[in-house]
Structure 1
Amino acid sequence: MQKTVALHTLGCKLNYSETTALGRMLENDGFEKRDFDEVADVYVINTCSVTENADKECRQIVRKIQRKAPEALVVITGCYAQLKPKEIAEIPGVDLVLGAAEKFNIAQHLKEITKNDATKICSCDVEDVNIFVPSHSVNERTRIFLKVQDGCDYNCSFCTIPMARGKSRSDAIDNVIANVKSIATGGAKEIVLTGINLGDFGKGYTGGKKHGENFFDLIKELDALDDIERYRISSIEPNLLSNEIIEFVANSKHFMPHFHIPLQSGSNHTLAAMRRRYKKALYAEKVGLIKLLMPHCCIGVDVIVGFPGETNEHFAETVEFLRGLDISYLHVFTYSERDNTHALELKPVVPMQVRHERNKILRNLSYEKMQAFTQQHMGETRKVLFESVNKNGMMEGYTDNYIKITAPHQPAWENNIIEWVI
């Protein structure tokens, strides 16, 4: 009798690509995929641990599974599983915990456990995680997320990712190209390149061997292909976003005028405490060059509010800096304490109420920025890739420069690029 499996993702686009890769692996091993809200024999939760909420959400999901399907096997993998395997194993209902090195061996592990066994933990020291496993989403949306890099060698004082995913490592360009060609045969029109520290592509080990490639080499090779019409760069550190990358995208055939560049703070004092590798002047310089070469380019920004030691003056400096930047939207994160990070030692701690107030201020600023950016392009004709989802008679898509468009649903437009007057 064929077993069923349901998978759920917490966290980033890279996690999403890995979850769908796990799903394909399990299907190839004979499992039938089910939606996560359906009853299944096995539930897999691919976790994030960037914020405290992700940990809590994992626990809540396990409790829901227990109520819905008490006999089902529950597997937890991802960053939270690598960081706190014993803590997860103590959650009632969890049967298997897979760390970073074991998540892609899930099919074999499922053959070796039953529901009544003691919770099995398969983890290792993160220093031993040095192999890159490619993954990408398939047939679940118009935009395909393709993982080309994993891990991080940075040591930001607030971040647990290096402890969860190990050192920076990436795929070889030839392998990426092969994956792109394979994805293209499925009819995808757009690929989003993802990674933990994407600009570090080429660093580290691939298949146990070093290779002398970099991110600029990768995007040049991909742009020369005509298999995929559109590429996006998911997120890239400002210190790794070289001028040659910006200039290349400005003249590219296939790379969209859209950058997402983490800032985290507009205060140099706070950036130093965060152990970021740049000052705000460099960030402003990158935004200025992008807008000089591509006035129509969309720029997204990550910001953390409420970091320890962030005074009212530091936050005001961040708000003023962001208001003055020609950016398009913000992803705002409220700082949350993470075990084993240097930030735990920093004082004074910002009260939670103040953190939430600052978050709201920046979310309002994000709305203003996106409204202004969209208004700048009203009346223009831009190319929109519409997604294959019918939402109550409507469909959505994004312009080349990432303006969201909603239109009456037309089946002929699904997964097609349409000229659209904004």
Structure 2
Amino acid sequence: MTSMNDLSELFDIDEQATPDPAVSAARRRRLWRALIIVAAVVLVIAASIVGYVVWALNAPLPSPVANTRSLTAPATQPAAFALPADGATAVTVTGAPGYLGADGLHLTAGDDSPRPIASISKIITALVVLDAHPLESFSDPGPTITFSKADHDLYDAYYVQDAAIAEMPTGSSMSLHDALATMLIPSASNYADAVSTWAYGSRRAFLAATDDFLAREGLTSTTIVEPTGLDERNTSTPSDLLRIGQLAAANPTIAGIAATTDLTLDGPGHLTNTNTLLGEGGVTGLKTGNLGQGTFSLLFTATVGTSVGEPLSFVGVTLGGTTRESQDAAVLRLLDSVRAGFRDVPLVSGGTLVGSYTTAWGSSAQLVVADSASIRTWSDTPIAISTDITNPTEYRDGEQVGTITWTAGPATASAALRVRGTIDPPTDWWRLTHPDQLLG
């Protein structure tokens, strides 16, 4: 330690040579000022060193550098629709507009030329009768029909033609609703003839009304010459029959009757629906028909559930089937194939490496997809992919640092991106010796 004598020598102070008290006091004041300056310089240097250390040990670290690779969205394949191989088919599918669009799906096979429609004619007969005598709802019985001796004689007339018939006692009465049910459920031709004549007063008037109805609905490729379908000149095209099916499906009386598997009524007795597909594969109607092998036809509606939250509604027709069994099986395969167009597409597996993080101080970790993901798509709807990545804040294993999102039509799926491996913080020595890195 420096003594007062040393300081006196340093500043050339000779107290014996300067006995004057005033001079000595001035020299002592200069000495204290020098001491204060030296102490201040030492303190500034010490404070600067301490300040740097505190700053370096606590300064924000430079962000890790992310090195990522792009994931590729999986390709999608168009749905394969199992359309019947025999005859001609047309189908419309609506519902799930986010996938199928507002207009839905339209499928066809075979040509659109007119073919005999057999007992599908009775759907047209019902539409024309209800055009003149509408029922407000499925439960509305409508007016009462009393059958005459002439009506009763129709039983024998159609019996000899080997047509489907039902009992119709002379003088018996029945509501219009039940008469239509007897016409449509077991396909009783004598009821089709009697009800159509009752509705318009004569066969001629009924056929005139039918022509008018078909013209109003734009069904220019449909020909009806009698109300039952026994005459092979009752013809229509698949495209016209789609429209007829839509009109029938929108009529609560016809749709409700067509969905009834069996019914017992006074007079005709127990009635069983000729449409054996009811209840299978979502089928809800509408009408079968045939004039022998190779002419089997089915005008059908169906409601098919999907995993996208909204069922699909089908209206379809298939004409020219070889047998009823083969045609029914073909319709079920078609419905299943449309349903199968909605499917889960795998997107990524959990743990998939998508990148890495490196730091200025030499530590690193991987960037991985946290969990597997899949998305529900329709047919070949394209899948888009987007990624949002941020830098870690806690530098620990499992920290979420982003999200990867897939979009297919209205559907989305996402998976978290996480750090795998711990990013060790830098040592104090690295902090103290790398101020340029801390300053960025």
Work out which structure has the larger RCO, using CA pairs closer than 8 Å and 6 or more positions apart in sequence: 2
TM over 0.5: no
The TM tier, using the shorter chain, reads: under 0.3
TM-score normalised by the chain length of structure 2: 0.20
Which structure: larger Rg?
2
TM-score normalised by the chain length of structure 1: 0.21
